[in-house]
Amino acid sequence: MTPTLRALLCLGLSVGLRTPVQAGPLPKPTIRAEPGPVIPLGSPVTIWCQGTPGAVEYHLDKEGIPGPWKIEKPLKPGDKAHFPLDTVSSSHGGRYRCYGGYKLSSEWSAPSDPLDILVAGEEPVGWLRDRPSLSVQPGPRVASGEHVTLLCQSQSPRDTFLLSKEVAADLPLHLTSKHPAQQFQAEFSMSPVTSAHGGTYRCYSSRSTSPYLLSLPSEPLELLVSDYTMENSIRLGVAGLVLVALGVLLFWSQNSQKQTQEAART
């Protein structure tokens, strides 16, 4: 091997050891809100952003604001970063994305999926002062497989209604308002219902001019979904036990009567 070839080989190995190999674009991080995407006015929320190991910094962007809205470092190497908001105001409503930065390169990851933060509550101007009402047809107790409609209504002009389920991390369902008989309402249909649909629901109203600001929530509505297959099995089991018990009693009664008659003959 010539000295020139040996020098080039050593240089190539050295550069290879120092240069990280990036296979394709950096993966996008995940983003979520805790306790959820719908936040009452004045309450706290924490936005979490988590990427792959090696991330040393995260940028949180808010749609409509140039540059990073907030910058945080992970709690520990390769861990997620959190962006706490102690008191949510109407200005915090909006669409967010986060990016991860990595120490072995100057590159940033692809943006996360969007996260919508919705702020619910009465604003000083009072344009969302009234609460919508929430009702259910055919009723709050239904059987698995039935068709259920949750009806959200308001007396005031509204563009949009949103239906939210407690504990669910997903965004509320959105429907455009309808205006029958001077009412503003939306019908959220569920068909066929399963046990997974059971739970506590609330609805909100909003206007298209401020889609991230919601009214105060409706009163909670609890939907109970019964599994009639299981209930029927239990009922059949109980009925079977009752029949067995009646059979034993009848046998005992007949046997006792027979012994009494035989004793009378003797």
Same-domain pairing of 116 and 137? no
For 8, the token pair is 């080039």
> What phi and psi values does residue 236 have, to the nearest 5 degrees?
-65, -40
Looking at the chain, the whole-number percentage of residues with pLDDT higher than 70 is 71
Same-domain pairing of 35 and 115? yes
Cβ burial 235-265 (10 Å sphere, 16+ → b, else e): eeeeeeeeeeeeeeeeeeeeeeeeeeeeeee
| pLDDT at residue 123, as a whole number | 57
**Structure-model confidence comparison of residues 52 and 139, the more confident one:** 139
Same-domain pairing of 165 and 111? no
* Assigned domain for 260 exists: no
Banded pLDDT at 151 (limits 50, 70, 90) = very high
Residues 92/40, Cβ–Cβ less than 8 Å: no
Domain that holds residue 92: 24-120
* Assigned domain for 37 exists: yes
Q: Give the H or E element holding residue 225.
A: strand 221-226
Same-domain pairing of 220 and 152? yes
Half-sphere exposure (CA, 13 Å, Cβ side) for 127?
12
Residues 43/88, Cβ–Cβ less than 8 Å: yes
Same-domain pairing of 153 and 96? no
Same-domain pairing of 152 and 103? no
- Kindly tell me if the per-residue pLDDT of 14 is higher than 60: no
| pLDDT at residue 264, as a whole number | 64
Mean pLDDT value of segment 237-241: 60
Instruction: Give the C-alpha distances (Å, rounded to integers) separating 264 from 128, 251, 255.
Output: 89, 20, 14
Same-domain pairing of 116 and 138? no
Domain boundary among 98, 120, 142: 120
* Mean confidence (pLDDT) of the chain: 80
DSSP-derived 3-state class of residue 22:
coil
pTM of the full predicted structure? 0.71
Same-domain pairing of 42 and 97? yes
Same-domain pairing of 145 and 186? yes
For 146, counting Cβ atoms within 10 Å of its Cβ (0-12 exposed, 13-18 middle, 19+ buried), the class is: middle
- Kindly tell me if the per-residue pLDDT of 134 is higher than 90: yes
CATH number, domain containing residue 59:
2.60.40.10
Same-domain pairing of 149 and 188? yes
| pLDDT at residue 23, as a whole number | 44
Classify strands 94-102 and 115-120 as parallel, antiparallel or unpaired: antiparallel
Q: Domain total for the chain?
A: 2
- Kindly tell me if the per-residue pLDDT of 81 is higher than 90: yes
Domain boundary among 57, 87, 120: 120
Nearby residues of 187 by Cβ (< 8 Å), 6 or more positions away: 149, 150, 151, 175, 178
**Structure-model confidence comparison of residues 227 and 57, the more confident one:** 57
* Assigned domain for 95 exists: yes
- For 180-191, write each residue's pLDDT tens digit: 666 789 999 998
Mean pLDDT value of segment 125-153: 86
| pLDDT at residue 22, as a whole number | 42
Banded pLDDT at 234 (limits 50, 70, 90) = very low
| pLDDT at residue 209, as a whole number | 87
* Assigned domain for 203 exists: yes
Mean pLDDT value of segment 131-156: 92
* Assigned domain for 169 exists: yes
